[in-house]
Amino acid sequence: MKKLALLMGILLCCCPTNAIAQTMDEEEVFDNGIQQFGYVSGAAFQCASSNQAVNIERDVVRNFTRITRLFGSDRAFLYAAAYGSGATTAVDPSKCRQYMRQFQESTRRNALNQGEQ
């Protein structure tokens, strides 16, 4: 949070107002993406069979670790809180395949971006 405050102070001094608004929009979009990824992760866990749930839990912990390492604990918390919401909110069973596919694709894409296989 301190980094963001410092960044905003620098931007206020150096950038035109519309550039600041664009930066804030990009931050908000990024945070919303992390929250959506967390929710989908939780929904996929909820939809998973007992055998799949173990693998999803492992991938969720890895995703959390990656987010913490790359973007800090505030954004990791967004992911974790959204995961909890997705894991506990009633999920429409007809959307389970979609949640599982989104989770697997996002996790695979994130792993490849980190050089993991």
CB atoms within 10 A of CB 87: 19
User: What's the pLDDT band for 109 if we cut at 50, 70, 90?
Assistant: confident
Q: What is the pLDDT of residue 9?
A: 42
Cβ–Cβ < 8 Å for 63, 107 = yes
Alpha helices by DSSP H, the chain: 2-14, 17-47, 50-71, 73-88, 96-113
DSSP state of 72: -
**Longest CA pairwise span in the chain (Å):** 54
Q: pLDDT tens digits for 40-78?
A: 999 999 999 999 999 999 999 999 999 999 999 999 999
Chain centroid to Cα 84, Å, comes to: 12
